[in-house]
Every structure is written in structure tokens, then in C-alpha cells.
């Protein structure tokens, strides 16, 4: 590295400022690379959204989990007459670099080589046609309606308020009831996550054996309770959600759909199941819901909550450090998803859970780790 007359260091022809703001040239360049990554962090989500919409993971999966397709073969499967293959090549090149697809070279007649694209563990989760798929969640989280609230975070910090409402003119549940397409997009995303998480719950949590009836509060279109009833056919399942949600639910064996408002009342049962409900609400609302759940179960009953348990805040040693199956950073990302989409919801540490459970009428609880982002929090009135 040479110095020029202005006291600037020269590296690869670039001038590096030497005002002492950065500790070293290495730190300065590393920081710049990180800042570029932040600047374009959206590119990966939106390029993935594009290939999911085009069904490219499905095209490859249909040939087999280890199959590969060339660009020409993919383009031939697209539904328009003259797709822009060069544009798709650039998107695929980026996604190979990001590990969403793998690329291999294969020899063609005449000595030329072609690139063939295969699935990676990430894109195997993005095949829409499989029962366990994250594609509906990816499409919902990257819809214009759900991305728009993120543009209002600065206003939320400065003046408070609900990001989703600032962006879309209404809070999420009433917006969903007035927009059937968004309602379906949201409910499908929830159902896809319910299938994935129920597999994890049923593999690790033994607490359904003693139940004859179970109410899934905020159960969406009933996927979770249907899975529980399938595994424990002696349980009568009730799927309880807002009327506009249960109106779109299919009939499910062993499950009764009931429309209503959990802030008003909750149907009775031996136990209440709530997956991804509490995180949508502030502490006071959660306590109201928990009190209604308490009224709906016998003294020997319980609530089974499926939600994230965040690691304790730095400097707080009261909670145990948990060994999570999914990188705990995803829990803090979901906390921001709550800023974007809910009206006061948040992810909680064990200490925060303990407080709302106690105030909601549940004096005892266990946290059971499952191979998923969320944990099971089983809480008892006595």
C-alpha cells in the first residue's frame, strides 16, 4: 500500500481515508462489505420469491430430489411462449451463490458445457407441492402487504402506532377479513407452518394422552388440531377462530370449527392449545385471553402454548439458556415481524412468559423444547 500527498492510503487504486474513524484498512473494508450486505439483504428473499412463484424448485423436485435441470429445460417448462432466459440465468446465478440451488457442469455434444441446477437443503423446503413446505410462508412474508409495514418502523419508533395499519390502513385481522386474497395467503402460510411444527410437537411432546377434548384457540383453518386428532383419535377437536377464518376452513375429520372472539369467550374443553397466538398481543391482551382460557378448562386442565421463548436479555441471568433447534436469531427476527404485523405483540423471554401466565391464572408451567423455532409451554392452573 502506498500513501499519496493527501495522507490517504492507496489500495488497489482506491483511496482509503486515514482520519482514524476506522481502526484499520481491513476494518474499513470489512465494514463496507457488511454495509453492502445490509443494503441488499432484501435481494435474496425477493429472488427466492421469484423462483418460488415460477415453481422452479417444484420443476426440479418432480424429476427427483437429486435431479438437475439445465436452464433450457427450466425455460421450456415455463408457461409463457418466449420467457427471458437471460434474466432467469442471472437470478439462478445469484441463488447458486447464496446456496439456494447447486450448479454442476455437464458436457454437451460438440464439447460445450452446460450448467445444470439442482436442489439444496434450502430449496427442498421451497417445493410448493410437498406436504411439508415453507413456500407459502415465504410468499406471505414477502407479499407487498406484509413488506410495506417494515417501511414504517422509523415512524413507529418516533411516534408509536401500528406499522401494519400505517401501511395498509387497517390492523391485520380486520384487513384480512376485508381482503379474501390476503386472508387465504395468510391462512395458507399458517397452515404450512402448523404442519411443520405439529410434526415436531408430536415427536417430542407427550401431553395429549390424557385429553378427551382440546380447543385450538386461534387455530386458523384447523391444520394443527386436525394433526393432533389424527395422532390421538380419541380426542374431540374444536378449531376456534374469527368467523371470516373458519368460514374458509375445509371440513376435517374429528374437528368441529367454531367462529368467535377469544377476547369474549373461549369454548370449553379439557385443555386449550394456542400456537402462535400470544406473540400477536401485548401483555394485557394476553392476560385477558389466558383468563378466558382458564374459565374454559377444569381445575385439572391446562393450556398448551406453542411460541418462541427468547433467550434472556443480555445481563439478565434469571432464565436458563436454552438449546434451540433453530438459530435463536430467527426468534428475534420474528419479534420484528410482530412489530411489522401485530398491534403490540412481541416474542418473550421465560421471565416475561412467567409473568403473564401467573397473571392469567396459571401458577405452574413447563417449557418443553421441540425441534422447531417455537417451544411448547405447558401451563396449569394448580
Ligand X SMILES: C[S@@+](CC[C@H](N)C(=O)[O-])C[C@H]1O[C@@H](n2cnc3c(N)ncnc32)[C@H](O)[C@@H]1O
- Under rule CB under 6 A, residue 280 binds ligand X: yes
CB of 347 to ligand X, least distance (A): 12
CB of 145 to ligand X, least distance (A): 15
- Residue 60 neighbours by CB distance under 10 Å: 25
Backbone angles phi, psi at 146, to 5 degrees: -85, -25
Three-class secondary structure of residue 128 per DSSP: coil
CA distance 158 to 350: 29
CB of 224 to ligand X, least distance (A): 6
Question: Catalytic residues, which ones?
Answer: 279
Which of 219, 222, 237, 345: binder of ligand X (CB under 6 A)? 219
**What is the bridge-based pairing of β-strands 113-119 and 236-241?**
unpaired
Per-residue HEC secondary structure of 308-340 comes to: CEECCCCCCCCCCCCCCCCCCHHHHHHHHHHHH
Which of 182, 276, 353, 362: binder of ligand X (CB under 6 A)? 276
Cβ contact 211:278 at 8 Å: no
- Under rule CB under 6 A, residue 242 binds ligand X: yes
Nearest to 244 by CA among 299, 311, 183: 183
Which of 57, 218, 269, 301: binder of ligand X (CB under 6 A)? 218
Which of 55, 57, 118, 220: binder of ligand X (CB under 6 A)? 220
Binding mask 150-189 for ligand X (x = CB under 6 A): -----------------------x----------------
CB of 190 to ligand X, least distance (A): 3
Backbone angles phi, psi at 257, to 5 degrees: -90, 130
CA dihedral 90→79→75→67, nearest 10 degrees, is 110
Which of 152, 275, 348, 354: binder of ligand X (CB under 6 A)? 275
Binding mask 244-263 for ligand X (x = CB under 6 A): -x---------------xxx
Name which of 224 and 376 has its Cβ closer to ligand X. Answer: 224
Q: Which positions touch ligand X (CB under 6 A)? A: 173, 190, 193-194, 218-220, 224, 241-242, 245, 261-263, 275-277, 280
Amino acid at each position: 500500500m502506498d500513501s499519496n500527498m493527501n495522507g490517504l492510503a492507496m489500495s488497489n487504486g482506491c483511496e482509503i481515508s486515514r482520519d482514524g474513524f476506522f481502526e484499520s484498512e481491513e476494518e474499513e473494508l470489512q465494514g463496507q462489505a457488511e454495509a453492502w450486505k445490509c443494503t441488499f439483504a432484501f435481494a435474496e428473499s425477493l429472488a427466492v420469491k421469484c423462483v418460488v412463484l415460477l415453481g422452479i424448485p417444484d420443476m426440479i423436485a418432480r424429476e427427483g430430489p437429486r435431479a438437475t435441470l439445465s436452464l433450457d429445460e427450466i425455460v421450456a417448462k415455463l408457461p409463457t411462449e418466449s420467457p427471458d432466459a437471460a434474466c432467469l440465468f442471472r437470478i439462478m446465478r445469484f441463488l447458486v451463490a447464496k446456496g439456494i440451488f447447486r450448479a454442476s457442469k455437464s458436457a454437451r455434444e460438440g464439447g460445450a458445457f452446460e450448467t445444470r441446477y439442482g436442489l439444496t437443503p434450502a430449496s427442498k423446503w421451497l417445493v410448493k407441492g410437498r406436504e411439508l413446505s415453507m413456500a407459502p410462508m415465504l410468499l406471505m412474508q414477502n407479499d407487498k402487504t406484509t413488506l410495506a409495514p417494515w417501511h414504517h418502523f422509523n415512524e413507529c419508533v418516533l411516534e408509536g402506532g401500528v406499522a401494519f395499519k400505517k401501511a395498509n390502513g387497517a390492523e391485520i385481522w380486520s384487513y384480512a377479513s376485508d381482503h379474501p386474497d390476503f386472508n387465504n395467503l395468510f391462512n395458507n402460510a399458517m397452515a404450512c407452518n402448523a404442519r411443520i411444527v405439529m410434526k415436531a410437537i408430536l415427536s417430542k411432546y407427550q401431553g395429549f394422552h390424557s385429553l378427551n377434548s382440546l380447543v385450538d384457540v386461534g387455530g386458523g383453518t384447523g391444520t394443527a388440531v386436525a394433526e393432533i386428532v389424527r395422532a390421538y383419535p380419541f380426542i374431540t377437536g374444536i378449531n376456534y377462530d374469527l368467523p371470516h377464518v373458519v368460514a374458509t376452513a375445509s371440513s376435517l375429520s374429528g374437528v368441529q370449527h367454531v367462529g368467535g372472539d377469544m377476547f369474549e369467550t373461549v369454548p370449553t374443553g379439557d385443555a386449550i392449545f394456542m400456537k402462535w397466538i400470544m406473540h400477536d398481543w401485548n401483555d394485557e391482551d394476553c392476560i385477558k385471553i389466558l383468563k378466558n382460557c382458564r374459565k374454559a378448562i377444569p381445575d385439572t386442565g391446562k393450556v398448551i402454548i406453542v411460541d418462541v421463548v427468547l433467550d434472556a436479555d443480555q445481563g439478565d441471568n434469571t432464565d436458563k439458556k436454552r438449546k434451540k433447534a433453530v438459530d435463536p436469531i430467527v426468534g428475534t427476527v420474528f419479534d420484528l415481524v410482530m412489530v411489522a404485523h401485530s398491534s403490540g405483540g412481541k416474542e418473550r423471554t421465560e421471565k416475561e412468559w412467567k409473568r403473564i401466565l401467573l397473571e392469567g391464572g396459571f401458577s405452574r408451567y413447563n417449557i418443553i423444547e421441540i425441534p422447531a423455532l417455537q417451544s411448547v409451554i405447558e401451563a396449569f392452573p394448580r
